[in-house]
Amino acid sequence: MSKTALIVDDSRTMRQMVAFTLTNAGFTVIEAEDGKDAVSKVAAGTKLDIVVTDLNMPEMDGITLIKELRRLTAYKFTPILMLTTESAMEKKKEGKEAGATGWIVKPFNPDVLLKTIAKVLPT
């Protein structure tokens, strides 16, 4: 059974690049254009194996999204990777405190993204 990934990014091209990488690796992909859209798409308790989210987005940013997801029992331990152009230490710290599992700086290398996902997925 394929694993499900939620991809959250306000850039359509970025979403497509991540979706292309993950679907080629056998994932089923759900796309959301910002945190608010993501929350609405998982409101029904959709099973998620991994979340890959951007940081700076309209409506709801990545940090707020992580906090929202961590409040829900279903996503308390779901691996969440931040995928962003931001690389400042203080932002990473903020992400870690919100409950992010890891941080990847864009532009992402597809092989590195898949390797990182494999590391954080529960065995």
Secondary structure of residue 52 in the 3-state scheme? strand
Binding residues for other proteins, rule CB under 8 A, total 33
Q: Which helix (H) or strand (E) holds 38?
A: helix 35-41
Amino acid at 29: V
Counting contacts by CB under 8 A, is residue 105 touching other proteins?
A: yes
Stretch that binds other proteins, among 11-19, 31-39, 41-49, 68-76 (CB under 8 A): 11-19
Counting contacts by CB under 8 A, is residue 116 touching other proteins?
A: yes
Q: Closest distance between other proteins and the C-beta of residue 47, in Å? A: 21
Residue number, 11 or 28, with CB nearest to other proteins: 11
**What ranges make up the beta strands (E) of 58-115?**
80-84, 102-105
Counting contacts by CB under 8 A, is residue 119 touching other proteins?
A: yes
Counting contacts by CB under 8 A, is residue 84 touching other proteins?
A: yes
Q: Closest distance between other proteins and the C-beta of residue 35, in Å? A: 16
DSSP-based helix, strand, coil % in the chain, nearest 5 = 45, 20, 35
CA–CA gap between residue 122 and residue 84 (Å, rounded): 23
Q: Which helix (H) or strand (E) holds 69?
A: helix 62-71
Residues forming contacts to other proteins in the complex (CB under 8 A) are: 11, 13-14, 17, 20-21, 55-56, 84-88, 92, 95-96, 100-112, 115-116, 119-120
